Amino acid sequence: MSGFPISMATPARFTAPLPKAADVVVVGGGIMGVMTAWYLAEAGVRVVLCEKGRVAGEQSSRNWGWIRQQGRDLAELPIMVESMRLWKGLSSEFGAGLGFRQEGVMYLARTEAEMAGFEDWRKQAIVHQLDTVMQTPDQIKARISGVAAPWVGGMFTASDARAEPWVAVPMLAEGAVARGAVIVENCAVRRLDRVGGHITGVYTEQGHIACEQVVVAGGAWSSLFLRAEGVDIPQLSVLASVAQTEPMPEVFAGNAADDLFAFRRRQDGSYSIAPGSHHDFFLGPDAFRHFFKYLPTLKADWRKTRFRAAAPRHYPDGWRTARGWQGDEISPFEHLPVLDPKPNMETLSGVQDEFAAALPGLGRPKLRSAWAGMIDTMPDVVPVIDRAPVEGLVIATGLSGHGFGIGPGMGRVVADLVRGRDPGHDLSRFRLSRFADGSRLRVARGL
């Protein structure tokens, strides 16, 4: 299984005729949108999910495949604990093909300061009764064969898991359809149709859908869509590169990362490898508009960011990307149905070196394939899950690279939000107003 991400070269799987009307339209076919549609359909709501390109064509098939509770922002953690339960149920429904396996997540520290951060998180998260334990160097060597890295310790959660994202998300979309959702690929939502401030439908490239509620779960495209509707969110995107190695002997069945590199075992015996915390960032108009909101994060992480002068043509924050259009006009979403950025091969070469230095028995891994994705992120590295100041509009975006694992639980939460039901979790950390009400932003720990 090569596991290369989904792209526009992937044949369309969801080609249902576009309905004339629905109760809810979901914008975006990543795991957030898919699972929102799943739970809405399960509740008997008429829901249509519109995806401009392919279901899971962007970050939902390009991520590491980790399903982790460990290291979560404490406001996300209760939803993630629920999500882990849901993943187990999904595994029972879909079987081994989903790729769900609870082999654990290991965070590895090269400094005592990192270890102190791990221990601080563990103490705060203990109320959730996770099986997280601290690790000595000898315990790490007992879990990971042939270790030579100078790790001073680590943190391990055995119940954390993984799945194969490019397989899992389309499977989940099939499950949503089986429950009554309609999913339509090659169908960008261009604009909202509003009368007197209330949503009455959406304009898509395939036609109009009458509806009273819309969920924007467009990942890296959400900010561009919302701004055209007069809703401003300080969302930006960073490029994250990932590679698949050739099959290699197993040294650790689970997922592991330090500040320099991350790896996880795959179903075919290869590994997914990636930078531990380094990424690329394209400078564009929104980057300058939101500069001061991102300043605290920038101060902490600027050495881990490679800045590029401009995004490629048609990217969401491209210098020439349109910021305004009408419902009967071709939108920016149609110019680039799938964001398929080129990986940073220089960065991945460094990951190969770090992998070989840490695990010399395996040597420098040979790469079978490499790819990249654009991660939608927010200044405080937690999402916006909230109703917008437009009647009938719900925002579910900015999951900041944490979306795959938490997707089932967050989809259930958003579905309840749409239905006017108590989501069962405190969502105040994810409110839209935090960027404008004078609140001091609290940046997630980013473990």
Instruction: Extract the tokens encoding 147.
Output: 């270790």
- CATH classification (class only), 24-435: alpha beta
Read off the pLDDT band of 446 (50, 70, 90).
Answer: low
Read off the pLDDT band of 296 (50, 70, 90).
Answer: confident
Supply the pLDDT for residue 34.
98
Residue 221 half-sphere exposure, CB side, CA atoms within 13 Å? Answer: 32
DSSP string, 147-169: --S---EEEEETT-EE--HHHHH
How far, in Å, CA of 376 to CA of 239, rounded? 9
Supply the pLDDT for residue 227.
97
How far, in Å, CA of 444 to CA of 446, rounded? 5
- The 3-state DSSP class for residue 53 equals coil
Give Cβ neighbours of residue 31 (< 8 Å, ≥ 6 apart). 56, 60, 165, 169, 172, 403, 404, 407, 408, 411
Read off the pLDDT band of 173 (50, 70, 90).
Answer: very high
Tell me if 276 sits within 8 A of 151, measured CB to CB.
no
Supply the pLDDT for residue 161.
98
Query: Quick check: 303 pLDDT over 90?
Result: no
Nearest to 338 by CA among 371, 382, 305: 371
Mean per-residue pLDDT of the chain: 95
Give the mean model confidence (pLDDT) for residues 89-96: 97
178-237 confidence digits (pLDDT tens): 999 999 999 999 999 999 989 999 999 999 999 999 999 999 999 999 999 999 999 999
Residue 102 half-sphere exposure, CB side, CA atoms within 13 Å? Answer: 12
Supply the pLDDT for residue 278.
87
Give the mean model confidence (pLDDT) for residues 389-399: 97
For residues 300-327, b (16+ Cβ closer than 10 Å) or e, as one string? ebeeeeeeeeebeebbbbbeebeeeeeb
Query: Quick check: 91 pLDDT over 80?
Result: yes
How far, in Å, CA of 267 to CA of 163, rounded? 9
Query: Quick check: 156 pLDDT over 90?
Result: yes
How far, in Å, CA of 111 to CA of 154, rounded? 10
Query: Quick check: 349 pLDDT over 80?
Result: yes
Read off the pLDDT band of 437 (50, 70, 90).
Answer: very high
Supply the pLDDT for residue 277.
85
**How many CB atoms lie under 10 A from the CB of residue 101?**
17
pTM score: 0.97
Number of helices (H), then strands (E), in the chain: 12, 21
Supply the pLDDT for residue 116.
97
Give the mean model confidence (pLDDT) for residues 360-374: 96
Which amino acid makes up residue 253? A
β-strand partners of 155: 107, 134
How far, in Å, CA of 323 to CA of 248, rounded? 47
Backbone angles phi, psi at 306, to 5 degrees: -100, 115
How far, in Å, CA of 338 to CA of 164, rounded? 19
Supply the pLDDT for residue 302.
67
Read off the pLDDT band of 1 (50, 70, 90).
Answer: very low
Instruction: Extract the tokens encoding 420.
Output: 């006017």
